[in-house]
Amino acid sequence: MKLFAYLLITLSVILGSLASSTAYLVRLQGTSPETLATLRLGSPAGAYDPATAGSAFTERLTTVYSKLDAERSTVVNPLKPITTQRVPAITPPVETAPTGESVLAAREAVIPIGRTGDRLLPDLVALLNESDVTFVKVTEFGFARWPYSWLFVLSCVGLLGGAWIIRRTRRMELAAAVAAGPVTGKDAVDAATVFARLSGRLHSLAEELAETNDQDARLEAIIRHIGQIQRDDVPAFAADRPALVNRLSLAGYAELMDSFAAMERQLNRAWSAAADAHLPESETCLRNAQPLLVETLRRLKSHSAPNPVSE
């Protein structure tokens, strides 16, 4: 079921992205010429080969271009006082010959029919239609013109459906896991068991510290025990987040992690101070961690009743 949901989500993302990529496309067939004439091309449209295109085609295209160019070349600054234009100096003529690359470029060039920024005049649309161009990209968006808006809506429904299936499956899995009871031992992954292991390690550390007054031995014990906690217990505790959130709710989980993280930070500091051979700071941090350990345990136990439907 979960696999199906992930496939549905993946497919929906692909379809949604595909549909989005068509948001600025306009279908030439079936869109009124009046509407098209108000739109401008957002990228080149169509292509033709000057060598094979007939002279009638190129003449019509030339006429369209001259109309469009005339539209664009309106007077920019009607208020500017008339001044004399600078005449560029004459430069020596340079006799050149085409390079191989330019010959190749001309040979393989794809020349667009409609240029970026061109208005979709009826004559231009006619030329594009004759060249079998179905869609063109324009600069303005219109929901009614969006050819694949239905696909986008469908993909949104797919995403919603996939999300619903995943959440439902997850709740069922967690409920089943709660019903099956905790896994104990070295490979335990549930937070309560991991936390018990962590507490045990801290207890062992306290016993070792009590047994010796040798500073180096004490420092070594702190680094070793907390190193194990950092490597094994902390990641395992955090990895049980889905079950904890399911059991405690997100707010309860946040409350639990608040004290857990504060304790972890004290242990991290104890480790750093021990690594720097600063025993007083390290032991202070261990003492500071103790009430936080108790508080975390209290919060972990206070929500012991399974609550498989909350999240």
Instruction: State the nearest-atom distance from the C-beta of 271 to other proteins, in Å.
Output: 7
268 binds other proteins (CB under 8 A): yes
CA-closest candidate to residue 166, choices 23, 9, 304: 9
Separation between Cα atoms, residue 108 and residue 106, nearest integer Å: 6
Nearer to other proteins, 172 or 251 (CB): 251
Site for other proteins in 99-138 (CB under 8 A): 99-105, 107-108, 110-112, 133-135, 137
Q: Which of 1, 7, 18, 294 binds other proteins (CB under 8 A)?
A: 18
Whether 141 contacts 24, CB under 8 Å: yes
Site for other proteins in 35-54 (CB under 8 A): 42-47
Nearer to other proteins, 181 or 285 (CB): 285
Token pair, residue 210, equals: 């009590």
Nearer to other proteins, 54 or 81 (CB): 81
Site for other proteins in 133-162 (CB under 8 A): 133-135, 137, 139, 141, 152, 155-156, 159-160, 162
97 binds other proteins (CB under 8 A): yes
CA-closest candidate to residue 240, choices 300, 168, 200, 302: 300
- DSSP annotation of 136 reads E
310 binds other proteins (CB under 8 A): no
Q: What angle do CA 142, 148, 149 make, to 5 degrees?
A: 60
The pattern of x and - marking residues 290 through 309 that bind other proteins according to CB under 8 A reads: x-------------------
Nearer to other proteins, 62 or 215 (CB): 215
CA-closest candidate to residue 233, choices 279, 189, 284: 189
Q: Which of 278, 303, 306, 307 binds other proteins (CB under 8 A)?
A: 278
Nearer to other proteins, 99 or 304 (CB): 99
Q: Which of 27, 50, 122, 167 binds other proteins (CB under 8 A)?
A: 167
Alpha-carbon dihedral angle through residues 161, 165, 171, 176, given to the nearest 10 degrees: 170
Site for other proteins in 219-258 (CB under 8 A): 223, 227, 231-232, 235, 238, 241, 249-251, 253-255, 257-258
CA-closest candidate to residue 45, choices 175, 137, 156, 144: 137
The total of other beta-carbon atoms located within 10 Å of residue 167's CB is 12
Instruction: State the nearest-atom distance from the C-beta of 214 to other proteins, in Å.
Output: 10
Nearer to other proteins, 36 or 269 (CB): 269
Whether 260 contacts 308, CB under 8 Å: no
Nearer to other proteins, 179 or 309 (CB): 309
The pattern of x and - marking residues 176 through 215 that bind other proteins according to CB under 8 A reads: --------------------------xx-xx--xx--x-x
Q: Which of 151, 154, 196, 261 binds other proteins (CB under 8 A)?
A: 261
Q: What does R_g of the chain's alpha carbons equal in angstroms?
A: 36
Helix, strand, or coil here: 133?
A: coil
Number of residues engaging other proteins in binding (CB under 8 A):
117
Token pair, residue 29, equals: 């067939």
Instruction: Determine phi and psi for 45, rounding to 5 degrees.
Output: -130, 135
Nearer to other proteins, 192 or 282 (CB): 282
Which are the contacts of 242, defined by CB distance < 8 A and separation ≥ 6? 170, 174
- DSSP annotation of 305 reads S
Chain centroid to CA 216: 49
267 binds other proteins (CB under 8 A): yes
Chain centroid to CA 158: 19
